[in-house]
Chain A
Amino acid sequence: MIELSLPIAFLHSFTGAFDFILHQREAQTRFVQVGGLGQVWELTRTHLEVSGLALAGSLALALPVGAALGHRGRGEMFAIGLGNAGRAVPELAVIAFLVAFIGIGLRNVVLALMVLGIPPILTNTFVAVKQVDRDAVGAARGIGMRETQILTRIQLPLAVPTIMSGVRTAAINIVATATIAPLAGVLTLGDFILSRNVYGDQGVLAGAILVALLALIVELSLAGVQWLLTPRGLALQRERAAA
Chain B
Amino acid sequence: MIPVIAATVKVMLPLAQLPSNFVHHHSTTTCVAENRFFCADWAAHNFDRYVDPALKQALLVSVSVAVGFTVAMGLALLSHRQPKLAPTFTGLTGVLYTVPSVAFFFLLLPITGFGTDTAVIALSAYTLQIIYRNIVAGLANVPEEAKDAGRGMGMSQRDLLWRVELPLAVPEIVAGLRVATVSTVALATLAFFAGAGGLGQQIYSDLTFKTNIIIAGGLAMLMAILFDLVLLVIQRLATPWLRAGAS
A–B touch (CB < 8 A): the answer is yes
B179 interfacial contact with A, CB 8 Å: yes
Residue pair A87, B182 in contact (C-beta under 8 Å): yes
Closest residue of chain A to B209 (Cβ to Cβ) is A100
Which residue in A99, A196, A201 is a CB contact (below 8 Å) of B207?
Answer: A99
A62 interfacial contact with B, CB 8 Å: no
Docked pose: A88 CA to B218 CA in angstroms: 10
A166 interfacial contact with B, CB 8 Å: no
Which residue in B17, B94, B99, B210 is a CB contact (below 8 Å) of A212?
Answer: B99
Docked pose: A153 CA to B193 CA in angstroms: 47
Which chain B residues border A236 with CB–CB below 8 Å? none
B71 interfacial contact with A, CB 8 Å: no
Most buried by B among A172, A207, A211: A211
Residue pair B103, A88 in contact (C-beta under 8 Å): no
Nearest CB of chain A from residue B186's CB, rounded to whole Å: 4
Return the CB mask of A114-158 against B: 1 if under 8 Å, else 0. Answer: 000000000000000000000000000000000000000000000
Docked pose: A201 CA to B4 CA in angstroms: 11
Closest residue of chain B to A97 (Cβ to Cβ) is B213
Most buried by B among A13, A99, A204, A208: A208
Which chain A residues border B134 with CB–CB below 8 Å? none
- For window 1-22 of A, CB contacts with B under 8 Å fall at 5-6, 9-10, 12-14, 16
A79 interfacial contact with B, CB 8 Å: no
Residue pair A219, B98 in contact (C-beta under 8 Å): yes
Which residue in B103, B182, B203, B216 is a CB contact (below 8 Å) of A193?
Answer: B103
B200 interfacial contact with A, CB 8 Å: yes
- For window 209-247 of B, CB contacts with A under 8 Å fall at 209-210, 212-213, 216-217, 220-221, 224-225, 228
Interface size classification for chain B: 35 or more
Nearest CB of chain B from residue A161's CB, rounded to whole Å: 14
Return the CB mask of B118-144 against A: 1 if under 8 Å, else 0. Answer: 000000000000000000000000000
A229 interfacial contact with B, CB 8 Å: no
Residue pair B203, A101 in contact (C-beta under 8 Å): no
Docked pose: A101 CA to B210 CA in angstroms: 7
Residue pair B213, A96 in contact (C-beta under 8 Å): yes
Asked whether A211 and B103 contact (CB < 8 A) given A93-B217, A96-B203, A196-B16, the answer is yes
- Which of the candidate stretches B24-32, B42-50, B104-112, B156-164 sits at the interface with the other chain? B104-112
Residue pair B186, A88 in contact (C-beta under 8 Å): yes
B20 interfacial contact with A, CB 8 Å: no
Most buried by A among B9, B182, B185: B182
Closest residue of chain A to B179 (Cβ to Cβ) is A87
Docked pose: A179 CA to B190 CA in angstroms: 11
Residue pair A92, B189 in contact (C-beta under 8 Å): yes
Which residue in B98, B106, B179 is a CB contact (below 8 Å) of A207?
Answer: B106
Residue pair A176, B9 in contact (C-beta under 8 Å): no
Which chain B residues border A219 with CB–CB below 8 Å? 94, 98
Closest residue of chain A to B102 (Cβ to Cβ) is A179
Residue pair A88, B207 in contact (C-beta under 8 Å): no
Residue pair B111, A201 in contact (C-beta under 8 Å): no
Residue pair B217, A201 in contact (C-beta under 8 Å): no
Which chain A residues border B221 with CB–CB below 8 Å? 88-90, 93
Which chain B residues border A16 with CB–CB below 8 Å? 2
A205 interfacial contact with B, CB 8 Å: yes
B183 interfacial contact with A, CB 8 Å: yes
Most buried by B among A89, A90, A101, A197: A90
Which residue in B183, B187, B208 is a CB contact (below 8 Å) of A100?
Answer: B208
Nearest CB of chain B from residue A10's CB, rounded to whole Å: 5
Docked pose: A3 CA to B74 CA in angstroms: 28
A180 interfacial contact with B, CB 8 Å: yes
Docked pose: A84 CA to B186 CA in angstroms: 12
Closest residue of chain B to A220 (Cβ to Cβ) is B98
B204 interfacial contact with A, CB 8 Å: yes
Residue pair A13, B207 in contact (C-beta under 8 Å): no
Which chain B residues border A196 with CB–CB below 8 Å? 12, 16
Residue pair B98, A216 in contact (C-beta under 8 Å): yes
Closest residue of chain B to A180 (Cβ to Cβ) is B102
Residue pair B4, A10 in contact (C-beta under 8 Å): yes
Which chain B residues border A97 with CB–CB below 8 Å? 213, 217
Asked whether A99 and B208 contact (CB < 8 A) given A209-B107, A216-B95, the answer is yes
A-B contact pairs, 9 of them (CB 8 A): A9-B2, A93-B216, A172-B100, A179-B100, A180-B190, A183-B207, A208-B104, A212-B104, A219-B94
4 extra A-B contacts, CB within 8 A, seeds A90-B200, A100-B210, A207-B103: A87-B186, A96-B213, A101-B213, A175-B100
